[in-house]
Amino acid sequence: MTNGNTENIKKRIFIVFSFLSVLYLCAFLRDFYLQIIEHKILKERADKQTTQKIVINPVRGIVFDRNYRSLAVSIDVNSVYANPLKIKNPQKVAEVISQLLGVNRKSLESRLNSMRNDKKTFAWIKRKITDDEFKRLERVKPKGVDFVKESQRFYPKEELASQFIGFTGIDNDGLEGIERLFEKFIKGESGIRVVTEKDAKGRSVYVFEKPRSEGKNIVLTIDENIQYIVQSELEKRVEKVKASGGCAVVMNPMNGDILAMASMPKFNANQINQYSPSDRRNKVISDPYEPGSTFKVITACAALEESVAKPDTVLDCSNGFIQVANKRIRDVHKYGKLTFEQVIQKSSNVGTIKLGMMLGPSQLYKYISLFGVGQRTGIGLYGESPGIMRSPEKWSGTSIGAIPIGQEVSVTPLQLALIYSVIANGGILYKPRIALRIEDSEKNIIKEFNPEIKRRVVSEKTAKILSSILKGVVSEEGTGNLAKVKGFQVAGKTGTAQKAKRGGGGYLSNKYVSSFVGYLPADKPAVTILVTIDEPSTAHYGGIIAAPAFSRMADRIMRYLNIKQGEETPAIPMIVEAENRLPDGLVFSKLEKTKKSNGKNLPVRNRNL
C-alpha cells in the first residue's frame, strides 16, 4: 500500500471518527438537556398523564347547642370523577352515566370530549351522590370513571334553627348563618389526594400529598329544647291565624345569650335547593319593621329618666285624638285624663305623643340611640339590618307625633328583644351572644366568648318603674291579657303596626305585623321572648294574634327550665366597661364595677340555661 493510500485511509477514519464524535456529543447534550434541564417539566407532563390530583375538602367541625347536642355534623359521601384520557367512547359513557345519575347526557359528552382534546386527566361528573346512586353505578362502572370520598355537611335536626345555623355550599364553604360567621374556625384545611395508574391487580393507588385537617367545634348559646318549643309554637300560630310568616327570639336578659331564634316559613338545610332565598332568610335580624306600640317603652323610659313625668303624672288624652301639624292621630278608645302608668298600660297614642313633645326631638332621639335603634346589634351574623332611625334634623313636622309611638322608625325583632331586656335587667344593654366557645375534638378551649356590656341605657330605678308598669299590661285590664302564664307574673307589651309601603309613601291596607314582647318571671327575669306574626288574616291586634303564642312558649320554657314562681333566678353580674361613645358623639359614663366574691370576679356563664 502506497503512502498516498495510507493517508487517504487515515483521513477517512478521522472523518468517520469526527462524525461519530459529533453524533455522540449531540446525543449526550440532548440527554443532558432532557434529564437535567427539562427533567422537572417532563416529569410533570408524565405525572399529568398517569395521575390526577384531587383536592379533598376538610371535615368541618361540629356545631353544638349549649348542652352539646349536635346541630350540624359532617359525613363522608361518594363523589364520581373521570379521567377523560382513559375513556375511549365518551358518547357511550355519557349515556350510561346520565341514566344512572341523572346528569345531562349531551353536556357530559361534550365536556369529556373537550377535556380529552385538552389532554386533561380529571373531571368531576357528579359530587356527593346518594347511596342508591353509588350502588347503581358501582355495578357497571365504565373504565376511566371512579369514586372518591368527600365530606358533606349534614343537619340532623333538619328544620330546627336552620336560618340561624345557615348552610354550606358544594365545596363545604359556609354560606349563611353560623356556618359563615365562624368559617375560619370550623372549616379546617383541605388536603390533596394523588390518584396514580392502576397497579398489577387493577387497583388505583392513593397517595396523600397533604392530609386534610379537621375544623374546630363550636358550642352555641342556643338550647335545642327551647328552640324546638319556640319553633313549634310559632308554626302552630302562623297556621292558625293564616299568616304569611313570623319570627321569634328568646334570650337571657341578664347576659345577652340567645337561647332560640326562629323564622317562618321554615326550611330544611339538607335540601336548600328546594327553598327560595326568602325562606332561608333569618328574619329576626334581617327584616326591620315599624314596631308600633312596643316602641312606646323608649318614650316612657326617656320621660322618667329626664324627670318630665312620674308614674302618677296625669296626662290629658284629649278624648282620644291629637293634631300634629297636618295629621290627626287617634287612640283606639276615647280616653280623657290618664296617669303616666295608664298611658302605657292602655297603650294610648295621644298620651305617649304628649310625652314625646314634653321631651323634645333631641332628648327623645338621645334615648332611642341609647337603646340601639338604627345601629347593628353586634351579633355578627351576615345580613343584619341596622333598622331605620333618622336624626332630628331630618324629621318632618309630623315626626314628633309618629316616632314616640313607633312609626317613621323601624327595628329588627332582635333589636326589640334587646330593648325589653334592658328594662328586664335593670337598664343595661348587652351585645347579643350566640357562641359560648370554640373547642378542638378533645374539648380543649381554643376561644371563649364572654358576655359583653355595651352601655348603661337607663337607671335601675327607671327600669324598675317601667317593669312594674309593664306587669299591668299583662293583666285583665291590659292589652296583653292573653300573654298571661299560669303561676308567673309577666311584664310585656303588645304591638300592632300597619306595614309601610316599600320606598315609603304610606301604608298597605289590611297588612299588619302583630307582636308581643315580654319577660318572666317579671321580678326575677329568666327569659325575654318576642313573637311577631306577619300579615295575619283572622285579626291583626298584637294582643289577640301574638300574645297567645308568647303565653304557650313561656309556659313550656318555664317548665323545661324548672323555674317556679317566687324562686330566685340566678343573677349574672355586671362586667367592668370603659366609656362608650355613640356615632353621634354622645358620651356615657362608665358602668358600675363587677360585684366581687371572695376577692374574685363572679363567673358570667349561666349554665342553667
All three cell numbers of 312, joined, read 302618677
CA–CA dist 4, 11 (Å, integer): 11
Is 29 in the same domain as 77?
A: no
pLDDT, position 25: 75
For residue 529, name the pLDDT band (cuts at 50, 70, 90): very high
Task: Give the rounded percent of residues in the chain with a pLDDT score beyond 90.
Answer: 56
CA–CA dist 27, 189 (Å, integer): 47
Mind giving me the DSSP string for 264-281? ES---GGGGGGS-HHHHS
CATH of the domain at 585: 3.40.710.10
272 found inside a domain:
no
Between 130-134, 507-511, 515-519, 532-536, the lowest mean confidence (pLDDT) is in 507-511
Task: Measure Cα distances from 183 to 173, 260, 325, 446 in Å.
Answer: 7, 21, 52, 14
Total count of residues recorded for the chain: 609
Is 115 in the same domain as 230?
A: no
CA–CA dist 423, 421 (Å, integer): 5
CA–CA dist 229, 231 (Å, integer): 6
110 found inside a domain:
yes
The residues that are catalytic are: 293
493 found inside a domain:
yes
Tell whether the model's pLDDT for residue 200 goes beyond 80. Answer: no
CATH of the domain at 132: 3.90.1310.10
Is 10 in the same domain as 84?
A: no
Give the mean model confidence (pLDDT) for residues 548-556: 97
248 found inside a domain:
yes
Is 358 in the same domain as 479?
A: yes
Give the mean model confidence (pLDDT) for residues 78-101: 87
pLDDT, position 203: 53
Is 215 in the same domain as 230?
A: no
How many structural domains does the chain have?
3
Buried b / exposed e along 236-265 (16+ C-beta atoms within 10 A): ebbeebebebbbbbbbbbbbbbbbbbbbbb
Between 261-265, 492-496, 603-607, the lowest mean confidence (pLDDT) is in 603-607
Nearest alpha-carbon partner for 517 in 454, 474, 460: 474
All three cell numbers of 319, joined, read 278624648
pLDDT, position 167: 93
Is 326 in the same domain as 429?
A: yes
Give the mean model confidence (pLDDT) for residues 507-518: 90
Between 56-60, 94-98, 108-112, 489-493, the lowest mean confidence (pLDDT) is in 56-60
CA–CA dist 2, 12 (Å, integer): 16
Bond from prior residue into 311 cis (ω within 30 degrees of 0): no
98 found inside a domain:
yes
Is 255 in the same domain as 212?
A: no
All three cell numbers of 346, joined, read 292602655
Domain of residue 409: give its range.
224-267+284-440+454-601
Express each pLDDT in 265-314 by its tens digit.
Answer: 999 999 988 999 999 999 999 999 999 999 999 999 999 999 999 999 99
Over the chain, what is the mean pLDDT? 84
Which range scores top for mean pLDDT: 79-83, 102-106, 246-250, 320-324? 246-250
pLDDT, position 194: 61
* Beta bridge pairs of residue 148: 79
Task: Give the rounded percent of residues in the chain with a pLDDT score beyond 70.
Answer: 83
Give the mean model confidence (pLDDT) for residues 74-78: 86
Residue type, 96: V
Give the mean model confidence (pLDDT) for residues 412-417: 98
pLDDT, position 581: 30
CA–CA dist 400, 506 (Å, integer): 17
Tell whether the model's pLDDT for residue 406 goes beyond 80. Answer: yes
Q: Regarding predicted confidence, which is higher, 147 or 227? A: 227
pLDDT, position 33: 64
Is 146 in the same domain as 195?
A: yes
Is 263 in the same domain as 378?
A: yes
CA–CA dist 21, 100 (Å, integer): 63
Task: Measure Cα distances from 562 to 421, 526, 557, 567 in Å.
Answer: 21, 11, 8, 10
379 found inside a domain:
yes
For residue 604, name the pLDDT band (cuts at 50, 70, 90): very low
pLDDT, position 50: 54
pLDDT, position 570: 47
Which range scores top for mean pLDDT: 38-52, 84-98, 161-175, 425-439? 425-439
Which range scores top for mean pLDDT: 78-87, 150-159, 426-435, 468-477? 426-435
Between 186-190, 248-252, 284-288, the lowest mean confidence (pLDDT) is in 186-190
279 found inside a domain:
no
pLDDT, position 12: 74
Give the mean model confidence (pLDDT) for residues 517-522: 96
Beta-carbon neighbour count of residue 187 at 10 Å? 23
Tell whether the model's pLDDT for residue 325 goes beyond 80. Answer: yes
Bond from prior residue into 521 cis (ω within 30 degrees of 0): yes
User: Mapping DSSP to helix (H, G, I), strand (E, B) and coil, where does residue 127 land?
Assistant: coil
Q: Determine the straight-line distance between the first and last CA of the chain, rounded to whole angstroms.
A: 117
Between 98-107, 118-127, 185-194, 251-260, the lowest mean confidence (pLDDT) is in 185-194
pLDDT, position 241: 96
Give the mean model confidence (pLDDT) for residues 421-436: 97
Is 463 in the same domain as 475?
A: yes
CB 303 within 8 A of CB 340: yes
For residue 259, name the pLDDT band (cuts at 50, 70, 90): very high
What phi and psi values does residue 174 have, to the nearest 5 degrees?
Answer: -65, 125
Is 531 in the same domain as 511?
A: yes
CA–CA dist 30, 70 (Å, integer): 63
For residue 152, name the pLDDT band (cuts at 50, 70, 90): confident
Tell whether the model's pLDDT for residue 209 goes beyond 70. Answer: no
- Close Cβ partners of 217 (under 8 Å, ≥ 6 residues apart): 61, 62, 63, 64, 186, 438, 439, 440, 441
Residue 347 is given by DSSP the state T
Is 7 in the same domain as 90?
A: no
* 491, containing H or E segment: strand 491-500
Tell whether the model's pLDDT for residue 594 goes beyond 60. Answer: no
For residue 78, name the pLDDT band (cuts at 50, 70, 90): confident
User: Mapping DSSP to helix (H, G, I), strand (E, B) and coil, where does residue 46 land?
Assistant: helix
Between 4-8, 15-19, 182-186, 305-309, the lowest mean confidence (pLDDT) is in 4-8
pLDDT, position 98: 87
366 found inside a domain:
yes
Beta-carbon neighbour count of residue 566 at 10 Å? 11
CA–CA dist 529, 420 (Å, integer): 9
